[in-house]
Amino acid sequence: MTGSLPPLTLVVGGARSGKSAWAERLITASGRARRYIATAEAWDDEMRDRIARHRTDRGPAWTTVEAPLDLAEALAVARTDEAVLVDCATLWLTNHLLADHDLAAEIPRLLTALAHCPAPVVIVSNETGWGIVPDNALARRFRDEQGRLNQRLAAEAQLVVTVIAGLPLALKGAIPPDAR
């Protein structure tokens, strides 16, 4: 399967569905050098521990780039021999919402960067629309913006996979045989 990743893959699922682990396996199965673009910010000890644990679990075969806000720059420097994992679009969106950035400008910038990235990209995102309607305006805005972002990413992606209970299901395109 070496090199068989499409230019853009979107992996969506609920919290703790196994989407990130599956996306990592997809990248590893490609046989390419592995670049991990992390969007999380360590706001507290629990998140710092979680980030450290994930980095340890991935191991030294991954090049990690921290990009909580500027994914465009992080994607632009990817090499053609790499496969890039962006984990995750949900935290990236959250970071921009909390910083009160203009999403109408940031989302097209992200989509352009994804389209021009010299390496295939797998982007992980949460599906937040299956739960109850949030009880406050910020949470409702987040849910709505996340749904719209996922739709735009899915429209551009050649492969869209949802992961439920650790099991991948192709919604668009075909899952490479070595990644099942």
d(CA 69, CA 95): 7
Distances (CA, A) of 175 to 8, 103, 148: 13, 31, 24
The tokens for 137 are 């305006």
Strand partners, 161: 11, 170
**Could you give the residue ranges of the DSSP H alpha helices within 3-136?**
19-29, 45-58, 71-76, 89-98, 103-116
Strand partners, 35: 63, 84
Residues with catalytic annotation?
A: 54
